[in-house]
Amino acid sequence: MTRIDTDICVIGAGSGGLSVAGGAVQMGARVVLIEGHRMGGDCLNYGCVPSKALLAAGKAAAAHRAGAALGVTPDEPVLDFAAAKDHVARVVAAIEPHDSQERFEGLGVRVLRGYARFTGPREVEVDGMRVRARRFVIATGSRPMVPPIPGLESVPYLTNETIFDLREAPRHLVIIGGGPIGLEMAQAHRRLGSRVTVIEGAKALGRDDPEAAALVLARLRAEGVEIVEGAMVEAIGGRAGAIEVQVAGGTLFIGTHLLVAVGRRPNTERLNLEAAGIRHGRDGIETDAGLRTTNRRVYAIGDVAGRGQFTHVAGYQAGVIIRPMLFGLPARARADHIPHVTYTDPELAQIGPTEAEARAAHGDRLTVLRLGFDASDRARAEGRTEGLMKVMVLAGRPIGVTIVGAAAGEMIGIWALAIANRLKIGAIAGTVLPYPTMGELSKRAAGAYFTPRLFDNPLIKRVVGLVQRLVP
């Protein structure tokens, strides 16, 4: 059996693993990267990239149906679902080289293909080779969760890993799960010609601000997406092309295709973590504030660490662990400055606590700034006034922001900067932004924090009066 000795062994070539491997090797460390499936991980192949490409195709179709208020006669677009999937494939193919085995080998990383299995605290085995390393990074990601619904195993069903393989638009796509993945796919497929039903056991977008979520759900329903909430799926039956989904109470939904989008499960089964003394559970691998596992030579980042299933979280965590691994410096992972976005139309972006969460935590000390998109001249000019922004401010600093509306995912960036660097709200209010832009709404919201403090303050008025009378 071949034996390899290295400084750092990274298990998993998704966003987090690639960031660690590329950064470490370019700073002088010997790096082995192990990947058992596809380079680029879920984000490139089955998640962020293909889903946003398909949403873009749906957005182009929706543009044909809109525009009457702007003087453009709407029409029903001619849809080519296979061509839309070709667009998805081209986008993935264009990004693939950046995440490819060839690129990382060119950087100096030794790439091994296969599934790694710990054989001890400092050693893994993969495809007939043993890798011994000073430090390990587990970045194996997650996979779609398949719930134990009676009958599910007897019918064909889709997950985010298989839905992009379809070449024909489903006549009626039934989606179990009303979270971000389910609703993004619902809107994309509805706009591209499918009938869509979303079945959610609790509340759709239930983890988001209710007021913001309501705007998203209203838009999807207006576009013809059927969203059924408070409906627990009890059984599944039927056959390919006529799949039956029965919910509590006896209501039966029948569709041609079924998408299961009820969450994700960390990939830990193949790793033999017990051999390395690494504790883990249903939500992932147990880590401390520095993302170290119960084996101090091993770190865990990304979905498998159970601290947020987002590509940008994995990338951020990669930067955190580089410091102790390469330089021996202390580092702690934060979560308060991490934004997330649901890329429906309108988009829903969030960073920090929602209004309800912030009020529960801080009570009367909290100031909530609320501004509708109709306060933006650019939104008015483009006929996109549907939306709102909420900024939660504590002791003069923003701690949470909710944005729902056009370009919400882009607009959250300035607030991510402010919260990450613990800036005062005045830093946003004092920023000069180009007019007219959607981003200017952030400046207006920040300025609203000072309105009562300046314009409704009797002391300010007296001081101004004195200056006007006494200063020549």
Q: What angle do CA 242, 155, 50 make, to 5 degrees?
A: 90
CA Rg value for the chain = 25
Predicted local distance difference test score (pLDDT) of residue 372: 97
Predicted local distance difference test score (pLDDT) of residue 465: 83
Contacts of 48 (CB under 8 A, 6+ apart): 311
Domains of the chain: 2-39+100-144+265-327 (3.50.50.60), 152-263 (3.50.50.60), 339-455 (3.30.390.30)
Asked if 304 and 138 touch (Cβ cutoff 8 Å), the reply is yes
The DSSP bridge pattern shows strands 142-144 and 172-176 to be unpaired
Predicted local distance difference test score (pLDDT) of residue 468: 86
Predicted local distance difference test score (pLDDT) of residue 469: 82
Which residue, 172, 144, 169, 168, is CA-closest to 158?
Answer: 144
Predicted local distance difference test score (pLDDT) of residue 59: 97
> pLDDT by residue for the chain (472 residues), tens digit each?
799 999 999 999 999 999 999 999 999 999 999 999 999 999 999 999 999 999 999 999 999 999 899 999 999 999 999 999 999 999 999 999 999 999 999 999 999 999 999 999 999 999 999 999 999 999 999 999 999 999 999 999 999 999 999 999 999 999 999 999 999 999 999 999 999 999 999 999 999 999 999 999 999 999 999 999 999 999 999 999 999 999 999 999 999 999 999 999 999 999 999 999 999 999 999 999 999 999 999 999 999 999 989 999 999 999 999 999 999 999 999 999 999 999 999 999 999 999 999 999 999 999 999 999 999 999 999 999 999 999 999 999 999 999 999 999 999 999 999 999 999 999 999 999 999 999 999 999 999 999 887 777 788 788 888 888 888 7
CA dist 277 and 457 (Å) reads: 62
A 10 A CB-CB count for 381 gives: 11
CA dist 18 and 186 (Å) reads: 31
Predicted local distance difference test score (pLDDT) of residue 413: 98
Which residue, 271, 305, 259, is CA-closest to 162?
Answer: 259
Strand order in the sheet with 388-394: 339-342, 347-351, 397-405, 388-394, 366-372
Which residue, 174, 189, 183, is CA-closest to 58?
Answer: 189
- Ramachandran angles phi, psi of 73, nearest 5°: -70, 120
- Ramachandran angles phi, psi of 375, nearest 5°: -80, -5
CA distances (Å), 46 to each of 139, 172, 184, 273, in order? 17, 21, 13, 26
Q: Is 60 helix (H, G, I), strand (E, B) or coil?
A: helix
Total count of residues recorded for the chain:
472
Which residue, 117, 113, 112, 130, is CA-closest to 273?
Answer: 117
Predicted local distance difference test score (pLDDT) of residue 143: 96
**Which value, to the nearest 10 degrees, does the dihedral of the CA atoms of residues 94, 347, 158, 207 take?**
130
Predicted local distance difference test score (pLDDT) of residue 318: 98
The tokens describing 401, both together, are 């922001």
Asked if 293 and 299 touch (Cβ cutoff 8 Å), the reply is yes
Specify which residues 390 forms β-bridges with: 370, 402
**Which value, to the nearest 10 degrees, does the dihedral of the CA atoms of residues 215, 217, 223, 224 take?**
-150
Its pTM stands at 0.95
Q: Is 173 helix (H, G, I), strand (E, B) or coil?
A: strand
